[in-house]
Structure 1
Amino acid sequence: MDSLSIDTNGGSYPVYIGTGIRFKWQELVKGSYSSFFIITDEEVEGRYLSSIQQDKEIQTFVVPSGEESKSFSRYHEVMTALLKADLDRQACIIALGGGVVGDLAGFAAATYMRGIDFVQIPTTLLAHDSSVGGKTGINHELGKNLIGAFHQPAAVIYDTECLRTLPDREWRSGFSEVIKHALIHDEAFLNWLMESGKPVQDYSNEELQFIIKKGIAVKGAIVKEDEREKGIRAYLNFGHTLGHAIEAELGYGKMTHGEAVAIGMIYALRMSEEYFQTTFRMDDIEKWFQEIGLPTTVPKELNASQLIERMKKDKKAENKTLQLVLLKRIGQPIKVKVNDDIALKLLRASIEGSGAH
């Protein structure tokens, strides 16, 4: 088992990464809690709930799988369940699942009685990103994650065994965020990933632990400097401005988060080339993305102008000006106010699938 500490202004918490460690989560969770309450989804319930709910007195709440559960109505149901369970302020919520469950359960924990502890037990590769850093929240029809709170978990327990049941598409989606961490922070790690060349689901448990720990360490270092996203934490949104816009325009759930972010990263790299007169071996990167099953171009049914307007609604936008995280070089992110005409030109090129150089 590997572990690392995430340090924030409010204190630090441990992240444990290993094989089969979900069975001993109660040993790993420090703190004298009056009770635990597990929130999970229908898919994870069948696979892993029994291994977590060793004590049958622990109450649970199961939500439907998928992004639709990050809604006001589902949040209201969760809060009702917590209140009916008569949880006090010494209780602890366990978020068992992927990013949707983590965001929903974390927001419930942040707002129940003005805030109680919660522990993340992620079951997807994508959640290596979302389970660390304390961002919680739900969606609104006007955009993703617009209602939420910063609320750090008390611990993160990452059992790589849970990843083995993921469909290939979910593996790829999570791997996209691993690649993001390499692009914004660590060229050597990016080279290692590209040279390994294989799909992430073919990694051994040891290799999985390595890449998860690497990704979490990158995020932890940035969160330590900027917990509330006032400055450099925005770098973690590399590829996400367009990614979120694509998800919203297509309708949530039509494309995985990681697939949308992959397209956003290719777009941001091309934009970086425009702005900084640099080159990123785009042919190699796009070929690698395609080989591991990640998309590189904006879906043809989307409209470039509408995507620009959607991106201007992003939380990072200022005064309705389009802002993107770009790279001066691998490992050197920077936030840039982007010219609408250049943004449109590159978007149209991506939609056509030609990739402007």
Structure 2
Amino acid sequence: MSHSDNSIRIVPGFRYGRLFVVILAVAALAALGAVCAFTGNMEAVYFSPLPICVIAFTLLTWGDREPLVISEIGIEHGWSGKVVAFEDIEGITLNGACQDPDANLKGGWLAVHHRDGTLQLPPNTIPDNRHLYELLLSRCVPGKSIPGVETLADYHQGQVETFGEAMVWAFNPRRASPKRWHHLVLWLVLAGLAISWIALSVKPGENLRGGAPDPNPLAVGGGVLLIVSFFGVLVTAARLSAAGAIPAGVRGWKKSSLVIGPLGIGLVQGDLTGTITWVEIEDLGLARGFSLGTYSGFPTTRTLSVKVAGAVIAIADIYDHPLPNIFAIMSRFWKKPKN
């Protein structure tokens, strides 16, 4: 498939995560061999198939990343020829969240949600995922999907028929990124090695000084190392999960929907259901926050506030496009009233 000069080729980066898994498995084999050599405990050989299988599987799947190209029409797969058109993209997340494109973004896992599923790009691609995130946001058409809630279907369709599809936007809750298998593999390796070390440590070594036998020092040291490694993986996975976490207090967020058009705003979000005209809105604002649970300390926009007479309606950061983009669309229609 030929590409124009404006196409951008996405080059997979080096697979550091898989390299770490291979190194860990090789270290496990070396440690098991050392136990056999220095203690004469040949039962350690029984635990060797696990790291061997992990090494074989990781190396066999090392080059399974399909090359991608961002063309004028969408994201093209180099092997299968499949194309994810920009108009079919329903949402883009970086580390599981819709980040503020104007913020100082850092690299991370990029997920492109489209009609047929989710395309994931690891952090070390070339160009960097933060640049790909900004590029894809600028090229895809935000909010051109159909509201996922029937309550707003007539409101959305009525504005489309009156003003045209180009003047009406609909946003649905963002989808979660698929779980990445390498965390599970790493946990399995650590769990298997932990069982190995526990089994070996209960068999005491010979005390050269006589008296009660000493614990196997290799088993004890390996157990401590495994505990530290396990908690390191656990903390990393927790931080990655927290990056895309839905703000607390938004009940029934999966059944939410937001419609923006020339007539006003239609919203279904938790206990909030209804429509607002632009003349009813007294002020619009973005509440920016900082979450310690967010991966790498990304600054996150958590709430878009819509002030009306006697109340402030909070539009939560749960939708398939960043709140700053939604705020920008609202600002096209709403003008601050003159005092």
- Structure that is richer in helix per residue: 1
Give the TM interval when normalised to the shorter protein.
under 0.3
Provide the TM-score with structure 2 as the length reference: 0.24
Q: Which of the pair has more CA radius of gyration? A: 2
Provide the TM-score with structure 1 as the length reference: 0.23
